[in-house]
Structure 1
Amino acid sequence: MSPTLTMRRWHRFGVDFLVATADTGARVGWVDLRSGEVVVERPMLEDSLRLAAQEYLRADVHEIVLPVPRRAALDAFDAYVTVPDDAADDASGSVAARLERLVAEGWLVLHDVPVGRQGAVLDHLLIGTGGVFAIRVHAHPDAHVVMSRTSVEVDGRPTSYLRDARLEQARVQQVLGAAAGLHVEVRPVVVLDTDVPPVLAGDALPDAALVLGRTDVPQLFREVPPRLAATRVEAIRAAAGRRSTWTA
């Protein structure tokens, strides 16, 4: 069966949106019918979303379902449209599902963002007035995790989690800044999805990245004080939602 996009109109509380979802139920993005702004949560599907929106407006119906063409530019459809694996495993409490709760509070949440020239994919990108966060999730359900100011160890073995988080942060910062035409400060976040809370060795948390447990999400981000003006947030959101930002 060919993959599809469903376009539905959401008109209430003073807003008028066209919302696009995949056949899996995952949201792909939306179009603000008042301003014309297009926000894409699955960057590889930007072209398909725009085409579907045009077809919807021409059809003048409440809902329309359209096939997604299998063009070369969209060969990675499944990777970007499906709900991330952790969300599928535990839709009520996964990191992806927890981050999605922030959408209603004005945050933009992107999943499976292509950030590397060799196909590297960032788990989640979170953008709001509280800042821009590049989030990497590491699942260790039965492991003993110890963290210090400079390291994260799993069952006594050192990891590269902090170093990798900084490399991803630098890449996202570079790409978003170039696309938005302004300096974008990105904070790296490592989420440790464990059954047993990590142990802190010493009295200092890691300083290379913000290290959280799964249950810290989303509340910690709700408590982050605003640091970006609304106009700056919109510029960054617009850049992040363009497929060309991540595929250039």
Structure 2
Amino acid sequence: MDHLAIGPAGVFSINSKSHRGKTVWYGDTAVTMNGSPTRRIAVGQSEARRISRVLSTRCGVDVPVRPVISAVNATKLTGLTVSAKRARSSSGRTCGAPGLPGG
């Protein structure tokens, strides 16, 4: 875990790595760099579970933690998620946030 964000939307464990000069592809269950599979999702989920256990124990209540993967300095960032696939299939184009694929 590189960062921990806590706010009204919840608790987020952020794993950010520099990918200078690399092509990063992401989907709902996989992340690849230059076409090679990575363990980024499994590592992020494991970190989030560990942090959730620690915070829940210390706070005395269940504290869910959501994993976030941040690709910094990638030459190209592309991906497709299930929600984007649904948006594309119903409207003919992908919907996304500004500055992100489909945005």
Q: Give the greater-gyration-radius structure (CA).
A: 1
CA apart distance, 1:128: 1.2
**Structure 2 length normalisation: TM-score?**
0.74
Gaps of 5+ in 2: 84-98
Find the counterpart in structure 2 of residue 204 from structure 1. 82
Q: Distance in 2 between matches of 1:151 and 1:187?
A: 16
**Number of matched residues?**
85
Matched, 1:165 2:44: yes
Which one-letter code corresponds to 1:188 in the other structure? P
**Structure 1 length normalisation: TM-score?**
0.32
Which one-letter code corresponds to 2:28 in the other structure? R
Matches within 5 A, 1:172-187: 172-187=51-66
Matches within 5 A, 1:1-248: 122-200=1-79, 202-204=80-82
Distance 1:192 1:172, change over 3 A: same
Identity %: 31
Gaps of 5+ in 1: 1-121, 206-214, 217-248
Higher RCO, 1 vs 2 (CA within 8 Å, ≥6 residues apart): 2
More strand by share: 2
Contact 2:22 2:76 in 1 (8 A): no
Q: Deviations over 1:164-216 (max 9, x none)?
A: 0000000000000000000101110000012434111x4537xxxxxxxxx88
Is the partner of 2:61 in helix, strand or coil? coil
Q: Distance in 2 between matches of 1:157 and 1:139?
A: 16
Q: Distance in 2 between matches of 1:189 and 1:170?
A: 12
Q: Deviations over 1:74-108 (max 9, x none)?
A: xxxxxxxxxxxxxxxxxxxxxxxxxxxxxxxxxxx
What do you get for the CA RMSD once the two structures are aligned? 1.9
Q: Deviations over 1:34-62 (max 9, x none)?
A: xxxxxxxxxxxxxxxxxxxxxxxxxxxxx
| Structure 1 segments of 4+ aligned residues over 3 angstroms from their partners | none
Q: Distance in 2 between matches of 1:203 and 1:134?
A: 20
Q: Deviations over 1:131-165 (max 9, x none)?
A: 10001002101001111222100011110000000
Distance 1:182 1:203, change over 3 A: closer
